[in-house]
Structure 1
Amino acid sequence: MKQIYYVIQTLLRGRGSNVIKVVSLGLGLTMSILLFARVAFEQSYDTCYKDYDNLYQIFSIFTANGEQFKPQKQNCGPVAGAILENFPQEVEAATSMAYFLGAPLYNGAVRFDAHMLLADSLFFRTMGIEVLSGEPEKELMQQDVIFLSAGLARKIFGDENPIGKVLSYDKEMQFTVKGTYADLPDNATVRPEGVVSMPTGWNRGWGNYSWRGGDSYYEYIRFRPGANKSVVNARLDALIQKYRPEEDKKAYGYTAFVKPIRDVYRSEDQVQRMDFIMSILAFAILFIAAMNYVLISISSLAYRAKAVGVHKCSGASGNTIFSMFLLETGSIIVLALILMGLILLNFREAIEDTAAVGLDTLFAPERIWVPLVVVLVLFVVGGVLPGRLFARIPVSQVFRRYTEGKKGWKRPLLFVQFAGVAFICGLMYVVMAQYRYVIEKDMGYDPHRVVTANAYFGKGEESESAFHFFRSLPYVEEISFAVSSPVRGYSGSMIQGEGGQSLFSTRISWVPEDYFQMMGMTLKEGRPARAEDEVVVNEAFAERMRWGNETLNHPLHTGGETFKVVGVLKDFQIGSFYEPQDVIIFGHIRNFGRTVHVRLKEPFAENLRRLNKDVAEAYPDKTIDFEGMEQQILREYNPVRVFSNATVWAAVTMFFIMLMGLIGYTTDEVRRRSKEIAIRKVNGAESISILELLSKDIFYVAAPAVLIGTLASWYVNEMWMDQFAAQVPLSGIAYVLIALAILIVIVACVVWKSWKIANENPVLSIKSE
């Protein structure tokens, strides 16, 4: 009890420095725990499926003209079933699924937006998802059947039994609910809220479920417990070749392999890159926060040594002093955790937006070890190191001034803090600059005030009527349509040579004659396609074909048809700037519909609401949702925005911690060297020379630390930027300016804290000796 009493008295006496400790540790704990928890969340993907170690995903690899394309998750439909049929000893179940469903569900007139997919009868058994009601292996073999997640079923039907209820899909199809299944967590790559039977799509002609292309299916297999998994990959190529048509083998190559689902998400380049950088940030913040605590604690040795000597004179041993300091550290950490809780509570919305996941998910029971480990590390580093120093203070310190270790500990700790701040500031600047660059860079088309929606109006009179309806709206500036859009990307098609061999895969779309003008795209030469046998190609396509300056009128073979090139389109970005410039061809289309493009007049937001309202009234039997193209583009870069926000928060936190450590160090140095400064002034030293003396002392530590931190940020930035095909142009000058700015702030802080002693009457310091 006496130890607790003395610790409380110590905390109250040093409340000024303790407030700094609590604030710095609270901020450091908050950011480091959030970042570590996010990394742990990313690494836990796909562990929610039953017996996930036996669940494998199928990847396809296409080859054309001797070039092997990157492995892709989309496969030809029959692959999974063929594996199940040919490996009965190793494979227990297999499933194919497709994401063809994008419209909402309706219960009467009430709309429900839900993420749905088409799947075959072995979906739940293969994925290891718990079925709560219904018989999926029987019911999913029927057309127009849907299984709902427990959460969506409650949302639609409340406490009613959903089995047998009928839901409308896109106001045109009726799905009968035949069962429910357990909700899946956020860290699942396959997380549908509704599973619709595969025959629903087959019987309506959706997709191409065959060995001849149609690579639109995500497929998985489940191995039997203890099965030899290597057998499948060893024999899979031979199996596929057995089923493929001979004429297709001559045209292009196709094979596949399986990979543990546990390794699919976390082995993606972008995920590995982001997790690595976030881990570095989290470790740096935690380490600097701990070092700042140690720095402030060691700085108090000079004036706490006498109190330690008194305790030892009263019979306290070194272990007793050590345990008292650990208790003091534990108390500080508890207060810091309370501050962390207040921060999370009051800034929850902003934090969840930055983390891109809810706090309840981040700190789920299976990840509660993350904050516990972080707190334990902080306690050991922040408590043991200074505690050992305090425990070694001799009893004689009660009679004389303690002067041991004036700078031996402090300067290395400051060095680490300065390097950490330089690193995070360099990283923050580049991440923010890249984000601004990709969202502002010219994409080769004009998305400003353009909205798109999927809408199908049939042919002839119905199509013409729909076109005139949109054209007549007073707030519509321009209108056109296409098969998909530049943001969402396009489907692919193989380009064949004169002998029928496959050369490469190209993106393909179909548009009316006025589409390029409406979208602000530039025709470099020729004209738009006006007939069904005409196409326009982009510059990258012409370069790929090596046509040089003679692109027009070239014949083009794809999909078993021959077209004539009538125009060359200036390259525009397809998808996002993660991907390099792709090749594309545009054919001609007449009937209005598919992906409708509308450019609205100002005010944009108000007119978008009017458009969706008027369309809903004009076509009550259809679901047509217009969304701004600029908003779609921003969504593509949301991971970059989230990471940018995280680096800003981390930089502010680390900078604040560094300043508090620097202020504490400078205050202690001024106190320790007050007599020296006074004597220098008595001997004629000017105030400016005193400030220069103290500033140089810090500058010699800060300069190499900032240099190392800046170089580290440059290295990590290069690694992070590799994910982008288009990168913001940066020179070394940016890093130099960042380093100079940090050094100026450091020196300014030292000058501010030293100003009083540098201008004080030296007699005041000398007479107190």
Structure 2
Amino acid sequence: MKTLSYAFKYLLKLRGNNVIKLISITMGLFLGWVFLAKIVYVESYNKSFPDAERIYRVDERVTLPDREIRAGYISAPVAPALKDEFPEIETATVICRHFPLLTHGEHPFEINIACTDTAFFDLFSIEVLSGDPEQALQDPDNLFLSRKTARRIFGEADPIGQMLEEATGTHYRVAGIFEDLPDNTDVRCEGIVSFDNVKKMRRNSGWGGGDSYTGYVRLVPQAVPDSIEPRIMDVLQKYYDYAGDAAQGFKIEYFFNPMTDIYAQQPDVKNATQLLILLAVAILFVSALNYVLSNFSSLPERGRTMAMHKCNGARKSDIFSIMMSETSLLILISFLFVIALLFGLRDTIQKMVGATPKMLFSGYNLRYIIPIVAGVFLLAGLVPANLLARIPVTTAYRRYSPSNRLWKQALLLIQFTAVTLLISLLVTVARQYDLMLRENPGYNTKNMLHTEALAGRNIQQYETARQELLSLPFVTGIGAGCHPLEGGYSGNPVQDDQKNNLFVTRLDVISPDYIPTMGIQLKQGENFENMPTEGQVIVNEEFVRKMGWQGNPVGNSFFFGSPTPCTVIGVVRDFRTSTLRAGIEPLALFCMNDQNGIEDIQIRVDAITPENIASLTAKLKTLAPEQDIRIWAYDDLTLNAYYNERMLRNMIFVGVFITLAISLIGLLGFINDEIRRRSKEIAIRKVNGATPGSVVRLIASDLKYTVCAGIVAGLGLSFLQGRHWLERFAVKVPLSLWIYIVCGIAVAGLICAITVLKIRKTANENPVNSIKKE
């Protein structure tokens, strides 16, 4: 207790670099906590359900002649059929997502709705606060809301029996309330309705239908997927002719993906998490090492004080306890500052890492944070405590000025390595993000808008609406398609004359004006006419390469799941149908007709302004009064597609700033310590004719090998980590040597500039003053 009291009184004097230590530890712990919160957020994904370790998503593996595709989507009847066929499956459910804009009074609310069955509540152990799902969800018009969503819409009023209306005229009656699902889960939703609602959305929910549904199963205790998966296809064969598809080169298999691994094991998430772990460790390590370095800088002053304690009877264990108590108090104060910062910046942190304030201080999160803090405490406290405990008693009667140069240079080496690593990694991530935004996708997104306001219209209704929209003076072009290009396309197998599956191609149904409106280049052949012949198709260059066609492919034919062949009338240059994470895929474009209505339209305007958006919204409202009028700029869709990369870039930038600040504090402490320790030497050299420049070189020469080694090590680690991170992109920036040279020169230049500026004052000082101090 006495040592703790002494340590507290000493800290109150703000001596011994205590302010620097406090700033360094606080910045390191704060940023380390934020980064670790993101890591824990990822690792805890889907693990909050009581039986999460027994829940599996049913995934699909499609083997084609040219590749294998794995996806988390299946046909609607698969999961329920597995439940009926396998006693090892305790329960199963299937989910279809719907995002309607529901109106209560005059206020619209966008709600994330899951179209599912009553097994959804049982499988995920969701607490029902009011209502009976077994009875209520027999009616497709009934709706269950989460507690938070019900409060958001109805306030404190009783929501049961209240009506919500969709713009299409669909009404939902609130029949019950369920407990809010956690944010970090794939099945999070704000509303639940009967699965029968998929019929209203005109979706194929039969065997062999659209594989756009998510299925989950929960196994009985002790059951393992390996005992079920080998038998799945044999059992499901009685529902659908999977063997027939396999004989044609289209083999489908199902397997169980542990729910607890679904999010964390995604390649982009896993890659980003590994990078964040590296950042968190680097920042916390640099912070702790800077604390140790600050203690080394205060050794001349603290050494004599501790020697005097020994003269008065203090033992080595007492000195050790004093130093560990100081470290404990400093880290405790830093910990309190960090908590205050986390609360004060909670909204910014949530936007950056996705973790809510509740998650930041959850037991799951603290279980990881506290051992990290303990590690920082041990690293920061043991080294200086052990060093000062061994101070000789004679230090009390003479000047104590230990060199500890190797220790200090080793600590600086690690800090310079971390700074160089983070700066060069930031350059790599920023360059890749910039490439994503400026890379030519093969079409023109400038002044392009996207809306689904005319979804479901046939070709005659679309043409009428098109003429109305073109009457607006700022509208320069309109084209209809299935969905925005950034979202990716659905796919179907291409077949040869013997109906053998060759490969899967992306497809879209478009209007004749789609290609010129989007700025897609027609390489060969011609565009669709207003009344095209059935079976006409436009393909891209990758499609031609996959087919192995030579020369002009116009006029060639293939089969696309129908008895009549498709004939190529044109070839467009390759353009992207998804993000840079995927490569260019084969594409087939069909012309819309009376049998296939449009899903959305792309509108090119002369400028995207609030006035133009308002006028366009008003016009669309007159053309489709039953629809939700929502308009997106194509450039915003692109930004949203690369949200994770942007957040990672921003987090690395913050990490670079904090790590650089901590390292520079350590550098300044090292220089101050060297100047103080060698002040007499410097004065004597100046008396004997040494110039200020030679004094600067004298001190700076101690850093040259440390700086060079740290930069080389940091650049090497950055290259390895950067190359690993870029593997997930089909198109990536080159890791050019000149980038690393520039980063190395920048770091070295910054260190040299600060060193020279700090030493110059001492170098120009009157040597008499230094000798008097001695």
Which SS does the other structure have where 1:493 is aligned?
A: strand
| 1:14-413 correspondence to structure 2 within 5 Å | 14-15=14-15, 17-65=17-65, 67-88=66-87, 90-99=88-97, 101-202=98-199, 204=200, 206-245=202-241, 247-251=244-248, 252-413=250-411
| 1:496-535 correspondence to structure 2 within 5 Å | 496-530=495-529, 531=532, 532-535=534-537
Answer with 235-244 or 460-469: which moved more: 460-469
Q: CA, structure 1 residues 688+461, in 2 after alignment: closer, same or farther (shift >3 Å)?
A: closer
Q: Structure 1 CA distance, aligned partners of 2:611 and 2:415? A: 50
Which SS does the other structure have where 1:81 is aligned?
A: helix
Q: Structure 2 CA distance, aligned partners of 1:168 and 1:509? A: 31
Deviation, 1:108, is 3.9
1:725 alignment partner in structure 2: 730
Aligned amino acid, residue 607 of structure 1: N
Residue 441 of structure 2 contacts residue 575 of structure 2 at CA under 8 Å; is this kept in 1? yes
2:550 counterpart (541, 548, 551): 548
Which SS does the other structure have where 1:481 is aligned?
A: strand
Q: Structure 2 CA distance, aligned partners of 1:514 and 1:459? A: 15
Measured against aligned partners, the alpha-carbon deviations of 1:86-118 in whole angstroms (never above 9, x if no partner) come to 112x1111111122x232122244211011122
2:425 alignment partner in structure 1: 427
Q: Structure 1 CA distance, aligned partners of 2:136 and 2:192? A: 11
1:487 alignment partner in structure 2: 486
Which SS does the other structure have where 2:173 is aligned?
A: strand
Which SS does the other structure have where 2:491 is aligned?
A: strand
Q: CA, structure 1 residues 134+249, in 2 after alignment: closer, same or farther (shift >3 Å)?
A: farther
Q: Structure 2 CA distance, aligned partners of 1:486 and 1:555? A: 26
Q: CA, structure 1 residues 47+345, in 2 after alignment: closer, same or farther (shift >3 Å)?
A: closer
Aligned amino acid, residue 274 of structure 2: F
Q: CA, structure 1 residues 550+386, in 2 after alignment: closer, same or farther (shift >3 Å)?
A: same
Q: Structure 2 CA distance, aligned partners of 1:672 and 1:711? A: 34
What is the aligned-residue identity percentage?
32
| 1:675-754 correspondence to structure 2 within 5 Å | 675-754=680-759
1:559 alignment partner in structure 2: 561
1:641 alignment partner in structure 2: 646
Q: Structure 2 CA distance, aligned partners of 1:263 and 1:97? A: 19
Deviation, 1:495, is 0.8
Q: Structure 2 CA distance, aligned partners of 1:423 and 1:417? A: 10
Aligned amino acid, residue 634 of structure 1: L
Q: Structure 2 CA distance, aligned partners of 1:161 and 1:227? A: 43
Aligned amino acid, residue 386 of structure 1: P
Q: Structure 2 CA distance, aligned partners of 1:362 and 1:582? A: 41
Q: CA, structure 1 residues 228+348, in 2 after alignment: closer, same or farther (shift >3 Å)?
A: closer
1:11 alignment partner in structure 2: 11
Which SS does the other structure have where 1:243 is aligned?
A: coil
Q: Structure 2 CA distance, aligned partners of 1:205 and 1:302? A: 77
Q: CA, structure 1 residues 725+476, in 2 after alignment: closer, same or farther (shift >3 Å)?
A: same
Aligned amino acid, residue 26 of structure 1: T
| 1:663-678 correspondence to structure 2 within 5 Å | 663-678=668-683
1:759 alignment partner in structure 2: 764
Deviation, 1:444, is 0.6
Q: Structure 2 CA distance, aligned partners of 1:467 and 1:50? A: 53
Aligned amino acid, residue 140 of structure 1: L
Deviation, 1:571, is 0.6
Deviation, 1:155, is 2.0
Q: CA, structure 1 residues 408+277, in 2 after alignment: closer, same or farther (shift >3 Å)?
A: same
Relative to the length of structure 2, the TM-score reads 0.95
Aligned amino acid, residue 125 of structure 1: D
Residue 542 of structure 2 contacts residue 584 of structure 2 at CA under 8 Å; is this kept in 1? yes
Answer with 693-702 or 360-369: which moved more: 360-369
Q: Structure 1 CA distance, aligned partners of 2:488 and 2:610? A: 25
Aligned amino acid, residue 332 of structure 2: V
Which SS does the other structure have where 1:513 is aligned?
A: coil
Q: CA, structure 1 residues 501+140, in 2 after alignment: closer, same or farther (shift >3 Å)?
A: farther
Deviation, 1:140, is 3.0
Deviation, 1:660, is 0.3
Q: Structure 2 CA distance, aligned partners of 1:2 and 1:44? A: 43
Residue 316 of structure 2 contacts residue 389 of structure 2 at CA under 8 Å; is this kept in 1? yes
1:607 counterpart (608, 612, 617): 612
Which SS does the other structure have where 1:498 is aligned?
A: coil
Residue 538 of structure 1 contacts residue 570 of structure 1 at CA under 8 Å; is this kept in 2? yes
Which SS does the other structure have where 1:74 is aligned?
A: coil
Q: Structure 2 CA distance, aligned partners of 1:457 and 1:434? A: 38
Q: Structure 2 CA distance, aligned partners of 1:760 and 1:460? A: 86
Aligned amino acid, residue 6 of structure 2: Y
Measured against aligned partners, the alpha-carbon deviations of 1:553-590 in whole angstroms (never above 9, x if no partner) come to 11121131422101110111111111111111111125
Deviation, 1:768, is 3.5
Measured against aligned partners, the alpha-carbon deviations of 1:520-566 in whole angstroms (never above 9, x if no partner) come to 11011111123132110011111111112231111121131422101
Q: CA, structure 1 residues 629+216, in 2 after alignment: closer, same or farther (shift >3 Å)?
A: same
| 1:618-657 correspondence to structure 2 within 5 Å | 619-657=624-662
Q: CA, structure 1 residues 614+18, in 2 after alignment: closer, same or farther (shift >3 Å)?
A: farther
Q: Structure 1 CA distance, aligned partners of 2:226 and 2:175? A: 37
Q: CA, structure 1 residues 123+607, in 2 after alignment: closer, same or farther (shift >3 Å)?
A: same
Q: Structure 2 CA distance, aligned partners of 1:346 and 1:130? A: 32
2:577 alignment partner in structure 1: 574
Answer with 385-394 or 470-479: which moved more: 470-479
Aligned amino acid, residue 219 of structure 1: G
Q: Structure 2 CA distance, aligned partners of 1:109 and 1:557? A: 51
1:472 alignment partner in structure 2: 471
Relative to the length of structure 1, the TM-score reads 0.95
Answer with 53-62 or 3-12: which moved more: 3-12
- Which runs of 5 or more residues in structure 1 are unaligned? none
Aligned amino acid, residue 566 of structure 1: I
Which SS does the other structure have where 2:729 is aligned?
A: coil
Aligned amino acid, residue 756 of structure 2: V
Residue 592 of structure 2 contacts residue 598 of structure 2 at CA under 8 Å; is this kept in 1? no
Residue 106 of structure 1 contacts residue 171 of structure 1 at CA under 8 Å; is this kept in 2? no
Deviation, 1:129, is 2.1
RMSD of equivalent CA atoms: 2.1
Residue 459 of structure 2 contacts residue 593 of structure 2 at CA under 8 Å; is this kept in 1? no
Residue 457 of structure 1 contacts residue 463 of structure 1 at CA under 8 Å; is this kept in 2? no
Q: Structure 2 CA distance, aligned partners of 1:8 and 1:377? A: 22
Which SS does the other structure have where 2:577 is aligned?
A: coil
Aligned amino acid, residue 424 of structure 1: L
